[in-house]
Structure 1
Amino acid sequence: MSAVRTVLGDVPPGELGVCDAHDHLFFGCPRMPGQELSSAAAARAELTAFREQGGGAVVQWTPYGLGRRAADLPPLSRETGVHVVAATGLHQAVHYDEDTLKGLRGRLADVFVSELTEGIGTSGVRAGLVKVAGGFHALDAHARWTMTAAAEAHHATGATIAVHLELGTGALDVLDLLCGELGVPPQHVVLGHLNRSPDLVPHRQAAESGCYPAFDGPSHAHHATDWRMPDAVRALADAGFGDRLLLGADTTTAAARSVGGGPGMPHLLRRVRPRLLRAVGEDLVARVLTQNPGRAFAVRWPV
């Protein structure tokens, strides 16, 4: 039977409840000094605030080497009653120093598989997805390397591959590589940040592949404004892809957390959900927040 691999163990997909399909409890990047998500107390407060809005599950996309704090995730999940899914994977090269990347050469797929099946470091927490990233309208050598390793890990474990699309671009190139060249079934691919590039044509082309399009994170000033997102969701739903759509909040800095004065995880349910209810109706919003994430992240895990 397929299950979602949470930090407290595998659960049936129908038990996730309302799901934030892309977010971060912990995250730290050398490019953003002083903006790390590193406080367990703040993470607990954020999960509690999300739970108070009706949230039931959070999928953390923080990959290898960016401050996942995997050992802190199980107690946070138990204390707040929110399911948490952890990630393995690798972000864009700019997020790492050269020594880290050199140390992963020749063994990246093995690292991903180990973290999916045995655990992250000494924490014993097993990852439930592989997160990788594309570039702006292109795939560089680093993206091809990480996606090739992610595909190997998928073929070994069945794990879903979640892709950061830089400013929402490059979706078709990602699908050509992962699903075309590397043989990953599109129903095991999640494309993140499509809201940041509100071009309905590649949205439709990507959805036609069978992947899961994700609209995740409030817009920044230089991104597509939030008011266009409901139209994009409605267009895909009207085209018959309502059972594939995902939503997430993608909190990446301490200032963006609700406990830090930003929108944070609760924004997804306090503000995005009502906006979508007006645009597409209760049935579709319920599917997007509850049923679709279970299907997107549930696989038949190896023992």
Structure 2
Amino acid sequence: MTGDTARGPVAAVRTVLGDVPPGSLGVCDSHDHLFLTTPALPGQELDDPRAARAELAAFAAHGGRAIVQWTPWGMGRRLGDLPALSRDCGVHIVAATGLHQARHYRHVPDGLAELFVAELTAGAGLIKVAGAFHHLDDHARHVMTAAARAHHATGAPIGVHLEGGTAALETLDHLCGAHGVAPERVVLGHLHRFPDTRLHLQAAQAGAYLAFDGPSRAHHAADAHLIDCLAALAGAGHTDQILLGGDTVTAAARSTADGPGMPYLLTTLRPRVAYELGDDTAEAIFVRNPARAFAAPWPRPRPTTSDAA
């Protein structure tokens, strides 16, 4: 279902096994990590393929059919391991390009926009960027500007790490106001860490997707406000802009260790959302919304999953 037609490119979700129709994505964890390494978290690396496989299999066993791995360039994505994991576990995986905050790198490469476009053309399906606490520092503005250029060249969605859930409106001003990215192509992450429902409504009214992610973080009390935040958005007519993810960033947070891990989204959060807000809202958050948020009219289609090697 991808490729150029008389009416232009058809929207698809770009996975590590090729482009797939949005409607085939299924139940999705919209922000998580199978692999991640950074000097900012020494000794807490996600770099074990067997552990990643076990976690992904546990997610699949509870009905999970897709995850979006937000691990960007230079942070141990292990892109070469992702296709086999996807195939073996029967779970679509969307990989990311982009850059995180400067503290996660020993050096930042030149030509970021060209790097992002090359990786998107080769199989990444998301551009990951990051803000600073309550503002955008020079690094964030530099990376976001490159991300906007790459977005305009490819159509790829942009996922934003909001530090502490802050600077959401500043991010939209930079990406959308200054650089012309359509707000519906932006996914604002970590909003649960700053549970200001009025600010969430402003971001939703601007047109962005809002991702609430992070039940794996024991030191974040904001999960207690999650349902209230979702209810405020749904009550204001923004159900179709909400996403949920696990954001598992340490080995201890996995379900196969001591944490809730990826399955928690389906064993605990989805039933709670359905109970509090209704089955249709749960279906929107876990199925319909990710299918739209992570789809793009890619100008250079890759093979569909069935055709991929």
Aligned to 1:4: 13
CA RMSD across the alignment: 1.0
Query: Cα gap change, 1:250/1:220 in structure 2, threshold over 3 Å: closer, same or farther?
Result: closer
Q: 1:26 touches 1:68 (CA, 8 Å); kept in 2?
A: yes
Identity, in percent, stands at: 63
**Number of equivalent positions:** 291
Query: How far 1:222 moved relative to its partner?
Result: 4.8
Normalised to the residue count of structure 2, the TM-score between the two structures is 0.93
Say if 2:182 is the partner of 1:185: yes
Select 1:223's aligned residue among 220, 223, 232: 220
Q: 1:158 touches 1:301 (CA, 8 Å); kept in 2?
A: yes
Query: How far 1:15 moved relative to its partner?
Result: 0.5
Q: 2:112 touches 2:143 (CA, 8 Å); kept in 1?
A: yes
Query: How far 1:57 moved relative to its partner?
Result: 0.1
Query: How far 1:227 moved relative to its partner?
Result: 2.2
Normalised to the residue count of structure 1, the TM-score between the two structures is 0.94
Aligned to 1:36: 45
Q: 1:197 touches 1:224 (CA, 8 Å); kept in 2?
A: no
Q: 1:89 touches 1:132 (CA, 8 Å); kept in 2?
A: yes
Q: 1:130 touches 1:160 (CA, 8 Å); kept in 2?
A: yes
Counterpart AA for 1:51: A
Counterpart AA for 1:69: R
> Separation in 2 of the partners of 1:235 and 1:33?
38
Q: 1:219 touches 1:225 (CA, 8 Å); kept in 2?
A: no
Q: 1:249 touches 1:268 (CA, 8 Å); kept in 2?
A: yes
> Separation in 1 of the partners of 2:186 and 2:269?
24
> Separation in 2 of the partners of 1:27 and 1:167?
19
Query: How far 1:33 moved relative to its partner?
Result: 1.3
> Separation in 2 of the partners of 1:166 and 1:256?
20
Query: Cα gap change, 1:18/1:171 in structure 2, threshold over 3 Å: closer, same or farther?
Result: same
Say if 2:124 is the partner of 1:115: no
> Separation in 2 of the partners of 1:208 and 1:143?
23
> Separation in 2 of the partners of 1:289 and 1:175?
24
Q: 2:217 touches 2:253 (CA, 8 Å); kept in 1?
A: no
| Structure 1 segments unaligned to the other structure (5+ residues) | 120-125
> Separation in 1 of the partners of 2:143 and 2:40?
20
Say if 2:103 is the partner of 1:86: no
> Separation in 1 of the partners of 2:96 and 2:40?
20
Query: How far 1:219 moved relative to its partner?
Result: 6.7
Aligned to 2:22: 13
Query: How far 1:269 moved relative to its partner?
Result: 0.8
Select 2:264's aligned residue among 259, 267, 271: 267
Counterpart AA for 2:26: G
| Structure 2 segments unaligned to the other structure (5+ residues) | 1-9, 301-309
Aligned to 2:58: 49
